[in-house]
Amino acid sequence: MPTNFAALPGWRANDPRNALEAFRRSCTAIAKRAPSEPMGWAGYAGTAAQWAASCRELPTTMPSANGARSFFEKWFAPVLVDRSAHFTGYYEPELSGSRLPTPRYRVPIYGRPKDLITANLGSFRHAFEGEHIAGRIEGTKLVPYDTRADIDTHGLATAPVLLYTDDAVSAFFLQIQGSGIVRLENGETLRLAYAAKNGRPYTPIGRVLIASGALDRKDVSLQTIRAWLNAHPSAAKSVMEADESFVFFETAPLGDPTLGSPGTEGVPLTPTASLAVDDRFHPLGAPIYVVTEIPDPGAAKPDQRFQKLLIAQDTGGAIKGPARGDIFFGAGTSAEAIAGRLNAHGQFFVLIPKAAAAALGSGKEFPDAP
């Protein structure tokens, strides 16, 4: 539903300068799109040309908070997607590692296998836009790739081992988060960035532990799941293997330590200014205003109000539907403490070019989902 900035709770007090810089990075990806390419489900967010027009008018120097708000107000109009959207958080875990296997470092982190084939189904049929599959070629057929259990049991001769880590549970959560930071024995620090996945369905293991009675639904968080896995080492492997999805990585220099690894859009993520969305519905690069509550990192205070402008720059296996967002919190223990416990509802507004908002028409609902 088209709305206005006055309807966004806390908008006037919000400082969107980090979002402005994140949007500047997204503009490099938007510039690669064909001008007539529709943005978002059924083109509700206009065309790439309309987005590129705002990119060309970005301020050359960092403005004040008021100046950043004025930029978004000049070029965009807010559209309410849902007042009860579902928000979670993610972060970059920090691991210890070694380039060679040792008695301590025995858990391999794999790069992209040579025989992994991925396909964007939208390239074959528009109705499948945003849908991807992966597998390997056997004869003349594309068949499903190995599951997590297959890889754990037999390894992957077709995939390079980038490095070894010392904790299978930490390696599992690295895959759930999609990227991370590794501190090697020799003192080197590097990034592990997402490269590909095996195409198997993602199954949240929290759901598995709830179904088995191991955890109560109201107590499930990254922290309680990790604690259960560490406390039950004999059962942990089978629980983790209930999630057939497996992620492959690539190494990269640490780069700017204040930013995260590149997301799906191909640009570095900005803590508390980048959001993972379902890109079948929302265009990557879109500014999204989020109103929700997030946990206190020390768990000593009540949840804190979170009213911020973020940029859609990533996707995730569990991020499905138009009213779903995953907030990136950066790296480190504080980021993990917040992201691992965030599971809240709130308001979800997308900022789209004014011409696209006008085309929706007053009172016209968001296009129906497929």
Token pair, residue 40, equals: 């978002």
What is the value of pTM for the model shown?
0.87
Task: Check residue 361 and give its pLDDT.
Answer: 62
Say how far apart CA 285 and CA 22 lie, in whole Å: 9
Question: Is 9 a domain residue?
Answer: no
Question: Is 176 a domain residue?
Answer: yes
Domain of 198: which CATH number? 2.40.240.50
Say how far apart CA 367 and CA 365 lie, in whole Å: 6
- Range of the structural domain that residue 196 is part of: 93-253
Task: Check residue 229 and give its pLDDT.
Answer: 97
Question: Is 180 a domain residue?
Answer: yes
- Tokens 């990034």 locate to 191
Overall number of domains in the chain: 1
342, 89 in Cβ contact below 8 A? yes
Closest CA to 283 of 74, 65, 37: 37
Say how far apart CA 175 and CA 193 lie, in whole Å: 10
The CA-based diameter of the chain, rounded to the nearest angstrom, is 65
Q: What is the distance of C-alpha 161 from the center of its chain?
A: 24
Question: Is 264 a domain residue?
Answer: no
Task: Check residue 199 and give its pLDDT.
Answer: 94
Closest CA to 90 of 277, 227, 241, 280: 277
From residue 98, give the alpha-carbon distance in Å to each of 111, 151, 162, 247: 15, 20, 9, 19
339: buried, middle or exposed (CB in 10 Å: 19+, 13-18, 0-12)?
A: buried
Question: Is 199 a domain residue?
Answer: yes
Task: Check residue 369 and give its pLDDT.
Answer: 42
Question: Is 354 a domain residue?
Answer: no
Task: Check residue 262 and give its pLDDT.
Answer: 93
Per-residue pLDDT of the chain (370 residues; tens, 9 = 90+): 889 999 999 999 999 999 999 999 999 999 999 999 999 988 899 999 999 999 999 999 999 999 999 999 999 999 999 999 999 999 999 999 999 999 999 999 999 999 999 998 888 987 787 788 999 999 999 999 999 999 999 999 999 999 999 999 999 999 999 999 999 999 999 999 999 999 999 999 999 999 999 999 998 999 999 999 999 999 999 999 999 999 999 998 888 889 999 999 999 999 999 999 999 999 999 999 999 999 988 776 778 999 999 999 999 888 999 999 999 999 988 999 999 999 999 999 999 999 898 888 644 444 444 4
Task: Check residue 346 and give its pLDDT.
Answer: 97
Question: Is 143 a domain residue?
Answer: yes
Task: Check residue 367 and give its pLDDT.
Answer: 47
Question: Is 4 a domain residue?
Answer: no
One-letter amino acid of 369: A
